[in-house]
Amino acid sequence: MIVENIVTNIEEMEMEELLKRHKEKVYLESSDLVKRIQRVTTDHGKEIGIRLKNPRDLVAGDVLFMDDKNMIIVDVLSDDVLVISPRSLKEMGAIAHQLGNRHLPAQFEEDDMLVQYDYLVEELLQELQIPFKREDRKVKQAFRHIGHSHD
């Protein structure tokens, strides 16, 4: 089977529609969510080719296939992340500036900033005394580097 389009995302589905189908999952590293062409295997051993026509990243919960009885869903493996919890706007600005200078991609969940684990960032957070913790956590989307140069 070759998937060229995402059917929907489970967050957009009615609960009754979701519950009536058998679910297979494709577990991906968060870095694989940006790949438009790849070969994956479901947790039931079914091989699937993904060749997305639309230039879009995969997201946790994306439905690759669905019929009346079955569905194949994208799930994401946990990442080693730093969960940064600034106490003030000043702390948020300070760490955002530092991470931006390093071109380090971040994600936000509630009041927390998530970045992939890096011992240098960990040392910086300790130095700046900004609260953080290191966790294995599933992220919904890839940490995407944004191309930029200092011309």
Q: What is the pLDDT of residue 146?
A: 55
Of 59, 76, 93, which closes a domain?
76
Q: Are residues 52 and 16 in the same domain?
A: yes
Q: How far apart are CA 85 and CA 92, in angstroms?
A: 8
Q: Which residues contact 91 (CB under 8 A, 6 or more apart)?
A: 128, 130
The answer to whether 84 and 76 have CB atoms below 8 angstroms apart is no
Range of the domain at 110: 79-137
Phi-psi region of 105 (alpha: psi -120 to 50; beta: other; left: phi over 0): beta
Q: Are residues 87 and 65 in the same domain?
A: no
Q: How far apart are CA 1 and CA 144, in angstroms?
A: 28
- When divided into structural domains, the chain yields a total of 2
- Per-residue pLDDT 10s for the chain (151 aa) are 899 999 999 999 999 988 999 999 999 998 899 898 999 999 999 999 999 998 888 999 999 999 999 999 999 999 999 999 999 999 999 898 988 888 888 888 888 899 999 999 999 999 999 999 999 998 877 776 555 444 5
Q: How far apart are CA 109 and CA 134, in angstroms?
A: 15
- Which residues is 107 bridged to in the sheet? 114
In a domain, 70, yes or no: yes
CATH code for the domain in which residue 86 is found = 3.30.70.790
User: What pTM, to 2 d.p., does this model score?
Assistant: 0.74
